[in-house]
Structure 1
């Protein structure tokens, strides 16, 4: 995920300017033009530099990082947004909601909802060099999850550098009841049915997340480890959508039912 080989590094003032533009877009709920319109060479490296600065700004406002999310881990999501690699970003405490929560469409800019498998770590993982087996051993709980993804980029006209800078298009996370991790359960085979107002609109299985959601945990540990960041015990790891994201509509109820993990739902308030 090093981006475009040989692409120029962002100057510090450019990083600051982009981070502040996203910071204001989040506060005002007004989208901005893609950075890659003016700077088509913005790659993953530059995107993560902006992401780190934006995260610092939000933490200074009182946000707290309680885990990490992987995005664009399924072929369906990569095809949907025209990118060819996964990304990651922080999960903030303020964005996590309980099962059955009610959200307002106007809390976001252009929200979509997706279902995914979420893990909670029982022990830390420090990359690089973390294996899938080590990642599996570190998982303490598994949770059925819904993620509301949102973009501060106009009309979701994102390239990889844009969505990385925008905290991997994070919005909110809705979590079901935690289940103790089972060493005998192959999470690649966990099936999921996604319904809107009771009607099946998508389905998937764990293997749709980079072939194995546990491998996503190892990937995150290794990518973050390259920057000296350790995944800590107790942190949430969101492993990515198992299907193409669905627009969040006022008045609708969205439910994901997982084998072994149970179900999780969110309701959208009427306008």
Structure 2
């Protein structure tokens, strides 16, 4: 854990350690092995360096054959932001390896301790690049809106992490499944789009689009502006998962999770 004799934590050396740490997190994912948070060994790990680790992990995913399909947001709920001491969501990457086809069972054998949350997801009609993106300009770049379920799976023991830890871990990415109903964003009142999340037919949580930064388009704009700070943009055709409308719920084996949206239909996954 990069500890010197006598128990003193060593200083993180970014240029030498970023690729190694990214590899460690990907190995934990592949081997389905939870580990201690990075900040236990590297208490000085900050947000900027955590994003460098996240981007390096993406590069390693691409090298092994994965393709970028979009981005996702985390900590879009003001309550979660207050809990983590931040004022804006975090961003992470989506690749084609994270896509779970509709009707496919969740591959529990590939996961550590999965949880599910319902989200409003955008499919981009054109490129969106910050800085200066507003919710209105962001929404104007959207082609279609879908319901989705995101399966998250932290590589850290007991889902225990700080903000830099979860950024480095690509915001606990695992899988996502998109619903069958695609709607024109112009005909939806996204802040009032409601969702009922059920586990084996029993209501587990409820939420509305307003839980996501007041309006999911605000989250989209924040994603574009945040990515611009790192030299990235949201490309046409990409999907953008705007963040959980409810708290994430555990998914024990054998259960069925269903999310029913007001206008975006129903979506489910068997766990």
* Normalised TM-score (structure 2): 0.91
Shift of residue 14, structure 1, vs aligned partner = 2.0
Aligned to 2:219: 216
Cα distance 1:69–1:201, how it changes in 2: closer, same or farther (>3 A)? Answer: same
Aligned to 2:251: 248
Q: Are positions 1:170 and 2:173 aligned together? A: yes
1:130 is aligned, of 115, 130, 133, to: 133
Residues 215-234 of structure 1 deviation map (CA, whole Å, 9 limit, x = unaligned): 11111111111222121111
2:44 is aligned, of 41, 45, 48, to: 41
Q: Does the aligned pair in 2 maintain the 1:26–1:152 contact within 8 Å? A: yes
Shift of residue 178, structure 1, vs aligned partner = 3.8
In structure 1, how many angstroms separate the alpha carbons of the residues matched to 2:103 and 2:47? 35
Q: Provide the secondary structure at the position in 2 that maps to 1:49.
A: helix
In structure 1, how many angstroms separate the alpha carbons of the residues matched to 2:13 and 2:194? 42
Q: Are positions 1:183 and 2:186 aligned together? A: yes
Q: Are positions 1:265 and 2:268 aligned together? A: yes
Q: Provide the secondary structure at the position in 1 that maps to 2:18.
A: helix
Q: Does the aligned pair in 1 maintain the 2:139–2:185 contact within 8 Å? A: no
Q: Which runs of 4+ in 1 moved over 2 A?
A: 75-79, 98-101
Unmatched segments (≥5 aa) in structure 2: 1-10
In structure 2, how many angstroms separate the alpha carbons of the residues matched to 1:75 and 1:211? 9
Q: Provide the secondary structure at the position in 2 that maps to 1:144.
A: strand
Q: Does the aligned pair in 2 maintain the 1:122–1:138 contact within 8 Å? A: yes
In structure 2, how many angstroms separate the alpha carbons of the residues matched to 1:10 and 1:88? 24
Unmatched segments (≥5 aa) in structure 1: 1-7
Q: Are positions 1:12 and 2:15 aligned together? A: yes
Aligned to 2:84: 83
Residues 98-148 of structure 1 deviation map (CA, whole Å, 9 limit, x = unaligned): 333211322211111111101100111011111111111111111110000
In structure 1, how many angstroms separate the alpha carbons of the residues matched to 2:134 and 2:66? 30
In structure 2, how many angstroms separate the alpha carbons of the residues matched to 1:242 and 1:67? 19
Q: Does the aligned pair in 2 maintain the 1:67–1:90 contact within 8 Å? A: yes
Aligned to 1:207: 210
Cα distance 1:104–1:11, how it changes in 2: closer, same or farther (>3 A)? Answer: closer
Aligned to 1:22: 25
In structure 2, how many angstroms separate the alpha carbons of the residues matched to 1:90 and 1:125? 16
Q: Provide the secondary structure at the position in 1 that maps to 2:126.
A: coil
Residues 184-224 of structure 1 deviation map (CA, whole Å, 9 limit, x = unaligned): 42211111100001100100000101111111111111111
Q: Are positions 1:108 and 2:111 aligned together? A: yes
Q: Are positions 1:151 and 2:192 aligned together? A: no
Matched residue pairs, number? 259
Shift of residue 9, structure 1, vs aligned partner = 8.2
In structure 1, how many angstroms separate the alpha carbons of the residues matched to 2:252 and 2:66? 27
Pairwise CA RMSD: 1.6
In structure 2, how many angstroms separate the alpha carbons of the residues matched to 1:9 and 1:189? 45
